[in-house]
Amino acid sequence: MEIDSTFREELEQRSVAAGFCAVGIAPAQVEDAHRLRLAQWLSADMHGEMGYMARPNIDRSNAETVLPGAKSVIVFAASYAPPGPPPRPEIATGFVRIARYALGKDYHEVFRERLAQVETWLRETIPGHEWRIITDSAPLLERSFAEAAGLGFIGRNTMLITPTVGSFVLLAEIVTTAELPRDRPRPGTCGTCTRCITACPTQAITAGGVVDARLCISYTTIERRSPPSPAEQAAAAPWAFGCDICQDVCPYNNHPKYEPMEELPEGLMLNAVEPASTFLEPTSNSQFERRFAGNPVLRPGRTRVQRNVKWAARLEKNGNPEPDLD
Ligand code: B12
Ligand code: SF4
Ligand code: SF4
């Protein structure tokens, strides 16, 4: 097959058949502004303990970093959006909140399997090239490539916001040495809205639209290894795993036009609000691994998740005042 409009149409069809809500093609190098923003973020130490983000001599704005000779990056987005405006169910002592992306199966594993079908077709259609599937698994600025591929724009909360679903989408890529027809970036803007900045309970989002990970509840509950101070724990409660506040308040998330990918909807493995006992019952690592097999909470592991749950459910008092939650 020639790489023409037929190719683009078939790519779109195969992407939808594989469960994705959007696909686009970016060049192997995104504009320098992205690399510079990342460099500023790192030099301000905003990555905290995520040492992998600061590995020297790794250019995350260039796909050659992950595949020598790369010429194009095909970017895919999958919805995990709730059906309408994101609900914020009431929460009582003894319950915790879980980020929506973690309510079904781990997207890393799901996307890899689903994209394998698309990759096989690409290999057969355009022989003689290298192809590499990436799902948050390699040093690439995924949102920058998604923007360059025309999937949406980057909002003040730093999320990639798509026109059809909003920001409750997860990203994956197929990087290739093949020169493919590119999509154009899609215009979009937050306008005068600053809801996410005001709503963030830890002031992690600056007026310029930069997230200081050290202040972000998602980082505190998932990535951070050192024990947070009692004040940091109180600020994170009632979130036990991740945080969705800056997306819940975003007006772009009120009318998603695509249902979640089959493996990702709320209720498949967890609900957005869970009793603490869901996570505290497993008393050994093997019990925990059996109970949450295939779910993202396995990544930080039992000790860290149970640590989060205890403070998030306010089961440990620490002598702190209760945080103002809403
Ligand atoms: C490190 C990381 C985190 C860190 C830091 C987050 C952050 N904002 O940087 C922590 C642990 C806090 C985190 C949290 C979350 N994350 Co995260 N995370 C990543 C990771 C691994 C790298 C992101 C990164 O490079 N950060 C460094 C900063 C400087 O980059 P950035 O904010 O993305 O901005 C870049 C571009 O967007 C661009 N840019 C941004 N604004 C502007 C403005 C202008 C004018 C220009 C020119 C460029 C530009 O420049 C930056 C540098 O290139 C990516 C996967 C990946 N490999 O890319 C997932 C990823 C960004 N995370 C994701 C998700 C889902 C989340 C959470 C929603 C999970 C949750 N519910 O708890 C939260 C959201 C918090 C938030 N508001 O960002 C998704 C985002 C999908 C989307 N729709 O955007 C990603 C893409 C994973 C995936 N494969 O789907 N995450
Ligand atoms: S995920 Fe939560 S803590 Fe992090 S920036 Fe968004 S609202 Fe703030
Ligand atoms: S809440 Fe408002 S400012 Fe924040 S990302 Fe959404 S549109 Fe942009």
Domain holding 31, by residue range, is 5-86+105-176
User: Is 160 inside a domain boundary?
Assistant: yes
- What is the 59 CA–ligand 2 centroid distance (Å)? 26
The verdict on the CB of residue 72 being under 6 Å from ligand 1 is no
Helix extents (H) in the chain: 5-17, 32-43, 107-125, 142-148, 195-199, 217-218, 230-236, 245-248, 277-280, 285-291, 302-312
How much is the pLDDT for 324?
A: 37
Count of domains observed in the chain: 1
Buried residues in 229-259 as b, exposed as e (16+ CB within 10 A) = eeebbbbbbbbbbbbbbbbbbbebbeebebe
Whether 212 is catalytic: no
Identified catalytic residue from 136, 212, 244, 324:
136
Interatomic CA distance for residues 232 and 255, integer angstroms:
33
Burial of 286 (0-12, 13-18, 19+ CB in 10 A): exposed
| pLDDT, tens digit, 9 for 90 and up, residues 4-52 | 779 999 999 999 999 999 999 999 999 999 999 999 999 999 999 999 9
CA distance 160 to 116: 24
Q: Are 80 and 170 in contact (CB under 8 A)?
A: yes
- The preferred substitution site among 189, 211, 270 for testing ligand 1, maximizing ligand atoms within 8 Å of CB, is 211
- Identity of the residue numbered 325: L
pLDDT of residue 2: 59
| Closest C-alpha to ligand 1, atom 19 | 136
Does the residue 72 lie in any domain?
yes
Look at residue 306 and tell me if it is in a domain. no
Closest by Cα among 259, 19, 34, 21 to 161: 21
In this prediction, residue 314 carries a pLDDT of 75
Rounded CA-CA distance 10/29 in Å is: 24
What are 318's two structure tokens? Answer: 């620490």
Which atom of ligand 2 is nearest to 242's Cα? Answer: 1
Q: Report residue 237 as tokens.
A: 């409660």
Whether residue 69 is contained in a domain is answered as yes
Whether residue 123 lies inside any domain: the answer is yes
Determine, yes or no, domain membership for 142: yes
Closest CA to 89 of 81, 80, 98: 98
**3-class SS of residue 210:** coil
**Residues in the chain, pLDDT under 70:** 1-2, 315-326
Residue 82: inside a domain? yes
Instruction: Evaluate whether residue 81 is within a structural domain.
Output: yes
CA distance 115 to 219: 28
pLDDT at 1: 54
Pocket probe for ligand 3: among 156, 169, 210, 255, the residue whose CB has the most ligand atoms within 8 Å is 156
295 lines ligand 1 (CB under 6 A): no
